[in-house]
């Protein structure tokens, strides 16, 4: 594992900082990708439930924007460099590419459901990794983001179950 890029007086061992920086960067990358996918759905959704889905997707990407900022700032606090440019995200995301051809509301719901579930799983893995490394604060941040992802996932699944 790489050492933190800059010194920080946060009293964690270098290995804990390095683990957290690595986990945070992976979660940041995936979160930015999910943010962009959610925007894609928001812009392009069509169908009888347009306004409800359009509004729900906007709520989701607003929450993701807040969570992304929190992840990036913690990464920098620990001495890392938050990488969030389009090329870096495209090259490093662990999420599948969002299908550009989707229009129907429930197709967007299904595509987002898969991606929210994947990121929520990765976030929980990151909670365990950072906690085991001795960084309870980063684990706490990831827990907060995980709760937000789970809430969005619940809403997506409820929408798919009820037909919109």
Q: What is the pLDDT of residues 109-164, one digit of tens each?
A: 999 999 999 999 999 999 999 999 999 999 999 999 999 999 999 999 999 985 44
15-92+101-159 in CATH: which number? Answer: 1.20.1260.10
Separation CA 54–CA 120 (nearest Å): 22
User: 104 phi and psi, to 5 degrees?
Assistant: -65, 135
- Return the pLDDT at 162: 56
Q: What is the pLDDT of residue 164?
A: 47
Kindly state the percentage of the chain with pLDDT values over 70: 95
> Is pLDDT at 4 greater than 60 in this prediction?
no
- Residue 5: the pLDDT is 59
| Residue-averaged pLDDT of the chain | 94
Instruction: Return the pLDDT at 7.
Output: 72
Please give the pLDDT value at position 118: 98
Give yes or no for residue 28 having a pLDDT over 90.
yes
- The band of 96, judged by pLDDT with boundaries at 50, 70 and 90, is very high
More confident call, 2 vs 11: 11
The pTM (predicted TM-score) of the whole model is 0.93
Can you tell me the distance from the alpha carbon of 43 to that of 82, in angstroms, rounded to the nearest whole number?
27
Tokens 């995200």, located at residue: 89
- Per cent of the chain over pLDDT 90 is 90
Evaluate if residue 88 carries a pLDDT over 50.
yes
Contact 92, 98 (CB under 8 A): no
Phi first, then psi: give them for residue 117, nearest 5 degrees.
Answer: -65, -45
**Average pLDDT for 68-95:** 97
């Amino acid at each position: 594992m790489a050492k933190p890029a800059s010194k920080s007086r946060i009293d964690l061992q270098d290995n804990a900082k390095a683990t957290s920086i690595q986990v945070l960067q992976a979660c940041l990358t995936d979160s930015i990708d999910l943010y962009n996918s959610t925007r894609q759905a928001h812009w392009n959704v069509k169908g009888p439930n347009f306004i409800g889905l359009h509004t729900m997707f906007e709520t989701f990407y607003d929450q993701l924007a807040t969570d992304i900022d929190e992840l990036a700032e913690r990464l920098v606090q620990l001495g890392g460099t938050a990488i969030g440019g389009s090329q870096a995200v495209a090259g490093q995301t662990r999420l599948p590419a969002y299908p550009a051809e989707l229009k129907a509301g429930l197709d967007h719901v299904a595509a987002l459901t898969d991606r929210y579930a994947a990121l929520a799983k990765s976030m929980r893995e990151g909670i365990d990794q950072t906690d085991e490394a001795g960084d309870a604060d980063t684990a706490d941040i990831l827990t907060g983001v995980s709760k937000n992802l789970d809430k969005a996932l619940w809403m997506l699944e409820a929408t798919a179950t009820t037909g919109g």
